[in-house]
Structure 1
Amino acid sequence: MDDIEPPADLPQHFARPANEQEAAWSELWDQGRTPWDRGIPSPALVDLLAARNDLFNPVNSDGSRKKAFVPGCGSGYDPVLLALHGYDAYGLDVSEKAIATAKQYAESQLRTPSEGNFPLSGQKPSVSPGKVEFICGDFFSKDWGEHKFDLIYDYTFLCAILPAKRRDWTKRMSELLKPGGLLVCLEFPLWRDPRDPGPPWGLRGVYWELLARGGDGSPREYGDEEPPPAENAEFKRLLRVKPERSHKIGRGMDMISVWQKV
């Protein structure tokens, strides 16, 4: 499924207090309404993992596997993708139904992976698959355990939370990443007016404002040049490129950025 326009009634469904947002997502899963579900792993992440082994070697120098994490993992496509590329991967979602769906998907894919987990060239990882584990919980809570990850992938997660929670998103990402760990963001939706109600919330300028400037995530229109990063920024941007492949709903405007915790 890759509709270009998000359902018009989503903002109305989420027009409720901040402490009821997680329940709103679970309700949609329970109703079988998952318009964000694309049915395949993120093509942009597939290609990035294959092209930049210098950044995304899934094995530590001692031979142990690195740990990857996907918040708001839904049906589990991206945690499974990361496991197939050698990471020990973890997916988190607030919906019990989503987690059950993800576990079924992982069992099937780890046994017989779909071609969508690999680049169009057919290139396969040189390492064996890692494990994948799914957790039902709230990203902003520590109730689901103390973890530190080498890699976190965010796609349709930041755009799904209330703008008032964006600074908390940055803090939590910093807590979950190991020093030197990588935060990979598929920047979406960049075409949506940041003033429009979400989800999805428009994110033009938001990643730089949050991660490089240490701001509250208010949208900024920078023009041709971004302002310099803050001296005390917790993240350093290593890469920002336009992916050759992404989901159609990105309308050809998606960008993928890689940030390192300093």
Structure 2
Amino acid sequence: MSIVDPDEAARRLAADDPTGWFERLYAAAASGAAVVPWDRGGPHPLLVDWLGERELTGTALVVGSGPGSDAELVAARGAATTAFDISPSAVAAARERFPGSSVDYRTADLLAPADEWRHAFDLVIEVMTVQSLPPSLHPAATASVAGFVAPGGTLLVVAFAASDTDGPAAGPPWPLTRAEIDAFAAGGLTEVAVEWLDHRWRAEFRRE
């Protein structure tokens, strides 16, 4: 069996198809012809650390949920959790991986989200999703993520970090600059904390 190099496949596909390549990769992974490079077999460590021992209430949305591990962690802490991915194969794989899960897994497009999701979630988790899109799509994707946060709600963003003086990245991913992290505060969100942790951003915002 020939295994596809997922990074090379991503670079080729993203050049002409900035969102459709996710489905191609997840479909190939489902057939055993590829591996998903960001499937770490568990929730992201920076999300785990941020949550600590806290219990959650209210509603949560996990953006670009992929394998589902982040969504399952958030749900296990008590939040009524919705998770979405643009890839139907990713959603199917998450449901299969976590049978009986309380997470509401859906297929949806970050760049064209459901109207009822606007200002609808008490906690929004964005881990490495905006950075997977070409920089020209970052402003629209960022605004969409920020728009999910309900009044009084919190947004957590985790992304690879780039300095404002770095040259263009070959991508994907396309690491986010500090200016791009700050852009999540548009539309009524307030910055709570922005941390640089081992070349990654972990940023928290709140809608007052």
Whole-angstrom CA distance in 2 between matches of 1:161 and 1:207 = 13
The alignment status of 1:87 with 2:70, answered yes or no, reads no
Q: Which has the larger radius of gyration?
A: 1
CA contact (8 A) 1:140 1:172 kept: yes
Structure-2 change in CA distance of 1:95 and 1:242 (3 Å): same
**Greater per-residue helix proportion:** 2
Q: Which runs of 5+ in 1 are unaligned?
A: 1-5, 60-65, 111-130, 215-232, 244-251
Aligned to 1:169: 141
Normalised to the residue count of structure 2, the TM-score between the two structures is 0.82
Aligned to 2:104: 133
- Letter of the aligned partner of 2:56 in structure 1? P
**Greater per-residue strand proportion:** 2
Of 7, 19, 27, 2:24 maps to 27
Cα RMSD after superposing both structures: 2.4
- Report the secondary structure of 1:22's partner residue: coil
1:100-179 equivalence runs, <5 A: 100-107=92-99, 131-143=102-114, 146-147=116-117, 148-179=120-151
- Report the secondary structure of 2:11's partner residue: helix
- Report the secondary structure of 1:200's partner residue: coil
Shift of 1:178: 0.5
Whole-angstrom CA distance in 1 between matches of 2:167 and 2:124 = 24
The alignment status of 1:261 with 2:201, answered yes or no, reads no
1:199-240 CA distance string (max 9 Å, x none): 10021324344134x5xxxxxxxxxxxxxxxxxx62211123
Shift of 1:242: 4.9
1:60-79 equivalence runs, <5 A: 66-79=58-71
Moved beyond 3 Å, runs of 4+: 206-209
Whole-angstrom CA distance in 2 between matches of 1:234 and 1:37 = 33
Whole-angstrom CA distance in 1 between matches of 2:142 and 2:10 = 24
1:26-83 CA distance string (max 9 Å, x none): 11111113222111111111121115x4xxx522xxxxxx111111111111110100
Of 168, 173, 177, 1:200 maps to 173
Aligned to 2:3: none
Of 56, 59, 64, 1:58 maps to 56
Whole-angstrom CA distance in 1 between matches of 2:28 and 2:181 = 36
Structure-2 change in CA distance of 1:72 and 1:105 (3 Å): same
Of 35, 39, 43, 2:45 maps to 43
1:2-35 CA distance string (max 9 Å, x none): xxxx82453222111xxx4322111111111322
CA contact (8 A) 1:106 1:132 kept: no
